[in-house]
Amino acid sequence: MQQRERGVIRLAAVLSVCIGALAVLGQQADPASKPLPAATASNGELTIGAVIAQTGNANLYGQDQRMGIAIAQQWSLSQKPERPLRVQLEDGGSDEATAISAFNLLINQGVLALLGPTLSQQAFAADPIAQRRGVPVVAPSNTAKGIPQIGFFISRVSAQSSVIAPLSISEALRRDPQIQRVAVFYSQDDAFSTSETAIFQRTLRARGLTPVTVQRTQLADNDFQIPITAALQQKPDLVVISIQAVGGGNLVRQLRELGYQGQIVVGNGMNTPSIYPICQRWCDGILIAQAYSPELSTPINRTFQELLRRRNPDQPPSQITAQAFAAYQVVFESVQRLQRRGGLTGVTLEQARKALMKELLGGSYDTPLGPIQFTPDGEVIQGRFYVAEVRMDANGRNGRFAMVRNTGAEEKAP
C-alpha cells in the first residue's frame, strides 16, 4: 500500500512539473507577451486584422467593406504615418463559426487590433473572444443593441439601430399622415433583423400604429410569395422590412410585382448599392435611414469619394463603404497619436493593445460620416443622420441614395 501511495505521489509530482512546463511554453508562445517591434526596426510596421464577409449572403456587404478599407489604407499613406499599418484580411463568412475561426487565427498571429465582423450576429459570437484576449475591436457595421457592452475592448463606428431606424418611419408618416395599416417583415433567424424590427415596431406603436401583420422569414429565403400574399390580404399602406440585402431586394421586387403600390421602409440590412441589381427598377422610392450621405460637403468626405472614384468609377459611395473607411481611420489615427507620445515604445503587444483601446475611446475623429467620438463603453457618438430615397435610373439597373431629410446641421463647403 505504501509503495502504491509513493507511486501516486511521484506521478502527481511529474504531472505538476509537466503542467507547469506547458504553462510556461504557452506563455512564451502567446504573442501578447512579446515585445512590440520598435518603429525603427525593419518589421516596425504594425498589423491589424480585418474579418470581413467574403462568402455567403453577407459578401455583398463585404465587397463594400473591402473597398472602404482599401481606400482608407491609400488615404493613410498620404498622411505620412510615423507608424505604418498593414491590414491582414480574413474571410469572416456569413456565419458565426467562420467569424470565430478568423478572430482566433488573427489574434494568435499577433494583430494589434481587429476590424469587423460584418454581421451583428457574428459579433455576439466572436467579440467575446477578443474581449477575453484583450484585443481592440472596431465594428464597421454592427448596429444591434448591446454590442459595445460586450466589454472594454469592443467599439463600433456604426450607430445603433435604435438611433437611426425610427427616422425612416417618421419620413413615411410625414409624407402620408393618413397611414393606418402597416405590414412588417423580418428575418427571425438573424440577430440584427430581430433587434431592428423590435425598434421599428416600438416606433410604430409610439405613433399609435399596430402592425396588421408581422411576417417572419428566414435568412436563406428568396421566394416570398406566400408571406407577401398573406400580408397583402390585410391591405397595408406601409410595409416595413428588416432583412439582409439579398432577401430584402427580392422581397421588394416581389411586393411590387404582386401589386403593392404603397410606401416601403427598409432597414440597415439593405443599406448598400448592391441591392440595385436585385430589385432593379422596383427599388425606386424605398426609404432608408442612414448614417452617411454622399452630399456631406467636408474635406474628408470629398477625399473619400475621390479615392473611391479612382479605384472604381462605377461604384457609388455608400454607408457601408464609408463606415469601413472610418473604422480603419480611427485605428490609424489612434496609433499615430500613441506613437508620437511614445506609448508604443518598450511595451509588449498586450500593453500596446490596452493603450490603443484607451487612446481610441478618448479621441475625436473627422470621418466621412461626419465628426465622431466614443462613449466610455465604445458606443459611437455621431450627431448627423439622414433619410434617403432610392432613385433608380431609367434603365432600372443603377441608382443612388438621394438624401431627403437631414437630422443634423447643414454642412457648408469650406
- Residue 284 belongs to domain with CATH number: 3.40.50.2300
Residues 245 and 217 in one domain: yes
Look up the domain containing 198 and give its range. Answer: 162-290+386-406
Residues 190 and 274 in one domain: yes
pLDDT over threshold 50, residue 339 = yes
Lowest mean pLDDT: which of 26-35, 104-113, 371-380? Answer: 26-35
How high is the pLDDT of residue 331? 98
Q: What is the pLDDT of residues 62-94, one digit of tens each?
A: 999 999 999 999 999 999 999 999 999 999 999
Q: Is the dihedral of CA 307, 311, 315, 321 positive or negative?
A: negative
Residues 337 and 286 in one domain: no
112 in any annotated domain: yes
Return the SS3 of 241.
strand
pLDDT over threshold 60, residue 20 = no
Residues 257 and 327 in one domain: no
pLDDT band with cut points at 50, 70 and 90 for residue 21: very low
pLDDT over threshold 80, residue 41 = no
38 in any annotated domain: no
149 in any annotated domain: yes
Question: In DSSP terms, which residues pair with 288 in a beta bridge?
Answer: 266, 388
Residues 256 and 401 in one domain: yes
305 in any annotated domain: yes
Lowest mean pLDDT: which of 105-109, 236-240, 274-278, 299-303? Answer: 274-278
Residues 401 and 255 in one domain: yes
pTM (2 decimals)? Answer: 0.86
Total tally of structural domains belonging to the chain: 2
Residues 273 and 214 in one domain: yes
82 in any annotated domain: yes
Helices (H), 244-298: 245-257, 276-279
Q: Write the CB contacts of 339 (distance below 8 Å, at least 6 apart in sequence).
A: 39, 82, 83
Residues 179 and 218 in one domain: yes
31 in any annotated domain: no
pLDDT over threshold 80, residue 44 = no
16 in any annotated domain: no
What would the grid cell of residue 244 be? Answer: 439582409
